Amino acid sequence: MSEQILKGLRDRDPRGIARAISLVEENDPLADEILASLDDSLVDQAMVLGITGPPGAGKSTLTDRIISKYRSQGKRVGVIAVDPSSPLSGGAILGDRIRMMGHALDQDVVVRSMATRGRLGGLCAAAGAAVRILAGSGCSPIIIETVGVGQSEMDIIRLADITALVLAPGLGDDIQAMKAGLLEVADLLIVNKADCAGAETLAMDMESIAREGSGKEKDSAKVCMTVASEGKGIDDLLAAIETVDASHRESGERKARREKAYDLEVLDWAIEMIKPSIIKKIEEGGLDRKGDPRMQAVKLLEKE
């Protein structure tokens, strides 16, 4: 069984790749073997592009156009599209793919929809592993489309080498909310639906916010204008992505980010792995529910 999947991965068989991502997502015992089998040099070299922004800004449509451009350059493109899980049922509607169905029959466009499964940072817990599987199967770039975000969904900053924040005119309130968040840390700002009223003003606002940023390289933060539904502005966007990527590779920023992201993902997994034993202790009724919950937690860990 595992041999078959590993072989499928090596052969870039669509089903093998898809199974591998599922097994990692489900924390299957085979996940370790799959991840250990990946070609590290491919994973190291792949460019990971994050597309984030509020719901309805045009993330999926933009992703579709970006895929087309990279395909015309002969690149094999991976896409991970994340949508939210229902907090009530745990179910989800994964609908980002609708905008990308034009690439459905292209074997060199690998699209995987994933649900957040309770994670709140805009991605799912297995997103990092899924990116590495796609990279290991020869995809570069890999585009990650986050859930529609509000203020603090920052997971994408960690996982992506380059993060593009997509905004659209008419969503002004969202920008206010994001001033102290994503807007500060995104590498590229995209004003989509640039043919709509208010786009110019939005672009000017974003340019000034980007310039006033914390100063670390942000003087060069670029604002791109696009009309994704008509494919306008995509060439400029790709050129901007390439410029940022080249400068990050040269300055060592890319390497530094990846190292930091690696450490944080280890921390994430470690916490995930400790959780069950703590939950078990709580469920087994070891609590007297006296005093503050924080002190109970200290007591619980002392018993460890």
Crossing angle, helix 253-283 and helix 293-302, to 10 degrees? 90
Nearer to another protein, 88 or 197 (CB): 88
Hunting for tokens 């049922």 — which residue is that? 89
83 and 112 Cβ atoms separated by less than 8 Å: no
Site for another protein (CB under 8 A): which residue of 41, 45, 86, 151?
A: 86
* Minimal distance, residue 70 CB to another protein, in Å: 17
Q: HSE on the CB side for 59, CA within 13 Å?
A: 27
Nearer to another protein, 101 or 256 (CB): 101
Q: HSE on the CB side for 186, CA within 13 Å?
A: 29
- Residues that bind another protein (rule: CB under 8 A) add up to a total of 30
For residue 109, give the H/E element and its range: strand 109-115
Site for another protein (CB under 8 A): which residue of 7, 11, 15, 267?
A: 15
Nearer to another protein, 89 or 176 (CB): 89
Nearer to another protein, 252 or 285 (CB): 285
* Minimal distance, residue 286 CB to another protein, in Å: 19
The closest alpha carbon to 155, from 179, 188, 125, belongs to 125
Nearer to another protein, 58 or 169 (CB): 58
Q: Which two tokens stand for residue 198?
A: 């208010």
The DSSP output letter for 101 is G
- Residues 107-136 binding another protein (CB under 8 A) are 110-113, 115, 117
Residues that bind another protein (CB under 8 A): 1, 13-15, 17-19, 21-22, 85-86, 88-95, 97-98, 101, 104-105, 110-113, 115, 117
